[in-house]
Structure 1
Amino acid sequence: MDNLIAISEVSRRSGVAASALRFYEERGLISSQRSGSGHRRYPRSVLRRIAFIVFAQRIGMTLEEVGEELRKLPDGRAPEGEDWAKVSAAWTERVDARIDELRRLRSGLTACIGCGCLSLERCKLVNPDDRAARFGPGPRYWIGPPRRSE
């Protein structure tokens, strides 16, 4: 167990609260061993998995999706660059979609908040006759293309 590190050290090194680490462990995203006194001890490779989890959450993945991706990694050894590359290769499309969403949100910051994004009937400038309502619920002009054409 001399190659294992305490939860406090994992928390300090990863920047993730110990409570979150315990939560990740409950969800099966990371694993630990117990010392004789019952304290959690983690292999050093867990720091890579935690970085992966944090990054995946930052691009909008749910913990369920993160778990699916982590299950693609090898058991019994620390994942290597090639392993991570295989898992993250499919993320490009998701990151691009997130970038597009953020660009739409940024452009909306300088425009009228009521410009049809919530299908307000009173907006005569961008949303005459409340046409955004036909495209579905929510901020239709911010969350993506309409569901059907005008």
Structure 2
Amino acid sequence: MPNSDMSVGEVSKRTGVAISALHFYETRGLIKSTRNTGNHRRYSRTVLRKISVIKAAQQAGISLTEIAEQLAAIPNNDKVTSTAWETLSSSWKVSLDEKIERLTLLRDTLSYCIGCGCLSEKYCSLINPDDQLASKGTGARLLDPKEADTIREIKARYAAEQD
């Protein structure tokens, strides 16, 4: 039976992923290779599906760190089965829902506020009286999804006052 392992060039051609990216994936622990007697990398065919999973996750905005963590949690993670894919995609759906919620809140508050560098002193005094958020540190404190309902209520009151 001929050797079913593939060279890095063959994997690159089959997946459309640059050789340098394959090497990077390997250093990050996302994929594995063996070395032949000439010290060249050789990949099993199971790496093709794994790279497809990595590409799909990246297109969905999942970080390589998160992808690596999730792949490491799969038994025999060299082979991504349909059951493993269900586990991965379910986990990533939760992560994507959280990102969508944060981005929606950002979109909805962008015209009113930059974190708490508000564009309106009146509006800012409604959301952040006496600069209370300063005690919580720097950053966009008001863009926390946990505060979304409060922010929406205050925005509605502010908009009503402007009419």
What is the TM-score normalised by the length of structure 2? 0.66
Q: RMSD of the alignment, in Å?
A: 3.3
Partner of 2:80 in structure 1? 79
Partner of 2:124 in structure 1? 127
Equivalent AA in structure 1 for residue 132 of structure 2: R
Q: Write the distance in 1 (CA, Å) between the matches of 2:104 and 2:117.
A: 22
C-alpha distance after superposition, 1:58-78 (max 9, x if no partner) = 445443432232123342863
CA separation of 1:46/1:103 partners in 2, compared to 1, >3 Å: closer, same or farther? same
What is the TM-score normalised by the length of structure 1? 0.71
Structure 2 unaligned spans of 5+: 152-163
Q: Write the distance in 2 (CA, Å) between the matches of 1:68 and 1:22.
A: 18
Q: Write the distance in 1 (CA, Å) between the matches of 2:103 and 2:17.
A: 25
Identity of aligned residues (%): 32
Partner of 1:66 in structure 2? 67
Partner of 1:99 in structure 2? 100
Partner of 2:30 in structure 1? 29
Task: Find out whether 1:47 has 2:79 as its counterpart.
Answer: no
Equivalent AA in structure 1 for residue 120 of structure 2: C
By relative contact order (CA 8 Å, sep 6+), the higher-ranking structure is 2
- Secondary structure of the residue aligned to 1:90 is helix
Partner of 2:19 in structure 1? 18
Whether the 8 Å CA contact 1:11–1:21 is kept in 2: the answer is yes
Q: Pick the structure with greater CA Rg.
A: 2
Aligned residues: 145
- Secondary structure of the residue aligned to 2:76 is coil
- Secondary structure of the residue aligned to 1:41 is strand
Q: Write the distance in 2 (CA, Å) between the matches of 1:63 and 1:77.
A: 16
Partner of 2:114 in structure 1? 117
- Secondary structure of the residue aligned to 2:128 is helix
Determine which structure has the larger helix proportion and give its number.
2
